[in-house]
Structure 1
């Protein structure tokens, strides 16, 4: 429903307050199902992600230190905090337009006196206001509401940046741990294969093995060496990515502590209740940010509608005037003036209509963006929930397969040494075990990152202002 100014209300507004042409705000319905397809695995009574501090979700002391460094030094977060300050200043500027601007003025003039001859002096001292627009039709009030919504949207944007930052630091940290474990597997495999090449060469020299066996052993060894080089490169790239998130180099003591750490030794992450899709409207800062943008676009319509009505301004002055400088403050020299004015739009070549049309379209765009934010959040939570059971089963199956392949490699090596089977059987067992060892690590990493995705998708990661945000609020 749209607020309208009736003639009676308009008359009262001219005496007391202005009327508003801002449409009544109604939150759009969430364009998502009422429940998730997959049942959440979080235990009943578990604290929701949005209320669970990241210090309690991530219990590894090293990871906690890294997240703390990122919240202090990350440049994207610094920009988000500065955007809040900028929007707050703009809101204060817009709010100030509701009040008159008062300044002190001193004027002195000397001009020919055409009546009495000679020259006439004029001196004036007083207070005066510039043309102050009296907001009878709510134009300035609507602009103030729009600026306030923008300010609140930037606050939510900062929180969304913090959520993403906490999740990204944790995800990159786990990727770094996985890199170290993969490097350890590749180094161990390369050492084993180099020993196998040496043994095969000795057997070939003694005539107990063919050149084909020797060349296959060399090929498999160089394959492991290439994999090791690739993983060393990936480890360096992940370290660089983490340093960018931190806003500083990775602390040496933490970098040194990574060596020898297995990914399955990382502290377990707690299970989370997903709740209902409607909970995302208050849990996710990016959705709240999109809603504030919608509220601002809604208020902008009120300002555009007010352009069709007169703008009433008032100029006032009070002070003293005299033809002599010494007589400025004598009795009878004081006075004041009031000069109201009104400007009624008659012809503007369709400017006001176009401004209103643009404001209406902007609101429709804001509605679509708000609905897209909800749908994106629903998709992210659904993806995390749908992946939980599948990843758990994949991890279980691959660990069982790894155990079986380890036994197979041991038996293939024994059979080859006793001349029962060919060298191809041994090579195949080595290749399969090496690939499977890497796959187990990658699935474990996928499980941890999926839990991180669920935590972030449910709005986890922000429970208190960051040091940067606290400093901005204190200013």
Structure 2
């Protein structure tokens, strides 16, 4: 039978809800020095430059071909798609946890027919009962904030997933640019190897004529053959590496390399790549807001903090409310008649008395989880500091290495011309000419590698400072809205 009463008790219970045992969150101190060893600006003209975290990748990478590749990767890369879908999943999980704060109301209808035997009678009669109404079962009143703590943990997980997507985008933008520059370096190395092989094939033909004429010895001829075949082997190796590097770029793009971009590769040199803008490094403390992976670690720390509140609340009574409102009648035709309406409230409370240490163990696990999250947060900061420091420390030395190598390359180019002239005039031996050719070939390849290392170092600095996350991906636009509290 449904009893009548006023909803005063329900309102009072709602007003009393809101207690929380979540510890007060305090951001841990950054376990890194206050400044970088190489200074706050990697280049002298970077003082007035825009910070990497606020510089869109479209403004940093001005090569139209590279912009086309990055745009394609942001749409088609499968790892980024998974990161975006993880946001959707985390948001749905947050909504599920948040829904636990509200009662679940169901509509129901029941009909029962049971035999009833009157006292002193052998004949049985039947009693009918019909009911229609709304009901909620075991709605937990969150007096001690257990559900609220779980909601805060789910919200932190959702926000951490969003930051994880941004971190994935930063890595993807940098990886595509790195793969593109590597492919350009491969093309330049192939051009050097082809040119060197052609020169050595011409040299071996001349040496063979001299050997047949008895002017030079077989030793000179065999040395020329060895040098030529070494160049041929290097060319084959570089062709293989170029194919592998293109495959790596295709995987990042999530689609084949565009035809127009592929056609533009031939003849492109690394020194023709548009210069990348100088970037101010700022202070290590700036990384806390610039790097999405650090913000992700901090959200995970907040979630672990909220878990402690839920574990603490488990030591206190869990109060639930079952309610029902509707109409009951012994006859189907009387369900909605006057006097058949009513409702009932049935609160219940459970206080843990003996659980074999389960609640204590849960609290210990939550507290250890928070310490783990602190360590992971601090490690993320230290990793970011190391990446920025590596880029800054390498920048000046790479620049000096490139300058010295270019000067050496110029000297070796002149040396080869002089050695060739001396050999043709019989002043120098073929060994001198061969040594000059080998040295110039190695230096030409090394100069390309140093130029590539300089570009990769600038990419590392851009990524380490949080660059590449300011523009949301088309896929992420559906998951970028803030969760409703």
Structure 2-normalised TM-score?
Answer: 0.94
Contact 2:167 2:292 (C-alpha < 8 Å) held by counterparts: yes
TM-score between the two structures when normalised by the length of structure 1: 0.96
Q: C-alpha offsets along residues 187-215 of structure 1, whole Å, 9 cap, x if unaligned?
A: 00000000000000000001110000000
Q: 1:15 to 1:459 in 2, by over 3 A?
A: closer
Cα deviation code 1:356-388 (max 9, x no counterpart): 000000000000000000000000000000001
Aligned to 2:96: 93
- Deviation of residue 336 (structure 1)? 1.1
Question: 1:24 corresponds to which residue?
Answer: 24
1:395 aligns with 2:398: no
Distance 1:13 1:145 in 2: 21
- Does residue 307 of structure 1 match 2:314? yes
Using the TM superposition, give the Cα deviation of residue 18 of structure 1 relative to its aligned residue in structure 2, in angstroms. 2.9
Paired residues of 2:162 and 2:480 also in contact (CA < 8 A):
no
Secondary structure of 2:197's partner? helix
Which consecutive unaligned segments of at least 5 residues does structure 1 have? 1-11
| C-alpha separation in 2, matches of 1:301 and 1:214 | 80
For residues 290 and 471 of structure 1, the distance between their equivalents in structure 2, rounded to whole angstroms, comes to 23
1:123–1:321 Cα contact (<8 Å) kept: yes
* Residue 117 of structure 2: aligned partner: 114
Partner Cα separation in structure 2 for residue 75 and residue 383 of structure 1: 30
List 4+ stretches of structure 1 deviating above 3 A: 12-15, 471-475
Match of 2:468 among 461, 465, 468: 461
- State how far apart, in whole Å, the 2-side matches of 1:82 and 1:331 are: 53
Alignment correspondent of 2:353: 346
DSSP 3-state at the match of 1:335: strand
Rounded to whole Å, the distance in 2 between the matches of 1:161 and 1:121 is 64
2:77 is equivalent to residue 70 of structure 1: no
**Cα distance, 1:421 vs structure 2:** 1.3
1:236 aligns with 2:237: no
Q: Secondary structure of 2:475's match?
A: helix
Superposed counterparts of 1:28-177, under 5 Å? 28-39=28-39, 40=41, 41=43, 42-115=45-118, 117-177=124-184
Aligned to 1:275: 282
**Deviation at 1:13?**
8.1
Inter-partner Cα distance in structure 1 for 2:306 and 2:468: 31
| Cα distance in 2 between the residues matched to 1:310 and 1:426 | 91
Three-state SS of the structure 2 residue aligned to 1:118 is strand
CA contact (8 A) 1:13 1:19 kept: no
Instruction: Find the aligned partners of 2:13 and 2:107 in 1 and give their Cα distance.
Output: 30
Shift of 1:14: 8.1
Partner of 1:327: 334
Cα distance in 1 between the residues matched to 2:50 and 2:230: 48
Alignment partner, residue 434 of structure 1: 441
The equivalent residue for 1:178 is 185
What's the secondary structure of 2:369's corresponding residue?
helix
Which runs of 5 or more residues in structure 2 are unaligned?
Answer: 1-11
Paired with 2:227 and 2:439, the residues of 1 have a C-alpha distance of 12
1:420 pairs with 2:443? no
Give, in angstroms, the shift of residue 253 of structure 1.
1.2
1:257, CA displacement in angstroms?
Answer: 0.5
Q: What is the alpha-carbon root mean square deviation over aligned residues?
A: 1.3
Deviation at 1:419, TM superposition (A): 1.2
Deviations 1:19-68 (A, max 9, x none): 11000000000000000000221522210000001001000000000000
Greater shift in the superposed pair: 412-421 or 398-407: 412-421
After alignment, is 418-427 or 71-80 more displaced? 418-427
The 2-side partners of 1:14 and 1:288 are apart by 35
* SS at 2:18 equivalent: coil
Shift of 1:464: 2.3
Deviations along 1:123-166, one digit per CA (max 9) or x if unpaired, are 00011001100000000000000000000000000000000000
Residue 335 (structure 1) shift: 1.5
Change beyond 3 A, Cα 1:169–1:208: same
Q: How far apart are the structure 1 equivalents of 2:373 and 2:55?
A: 30
TM-superposition CA deviations, 1:408-431 (whole Å, max 9, x none):
111111111111111111110000
* Aligned equivalent of 1:8: none
Q: What is the aligned residue count?
A: 464
Give the alignment partner of residue 383 of structure 2, picking from 369, 376, 383.
Answer: 376
The corresponding residue for 1:259 is: 266
- Give the distance between the partners of 2:399 and 2:354, measured in 1 at CA: 70
* SS of residue in 1 equivalent to 2:320: strand
Q: Does the CA contact (< 8 Å) of 2:114 and 2:127 recur in 1?
A: yes
Q: Does structure 1 retain, via aligned residues, the 8 Å contact 2:17–2:141?
A: no
Residue-by-residue CA offset, 1:434-454 (whole Å, 9 max, x unaligned): 000000000000000000000
SS of equivalent residue, structure 2 residue 109:
strand
CA distance in 2, matches of 1:43, 1:309: 58
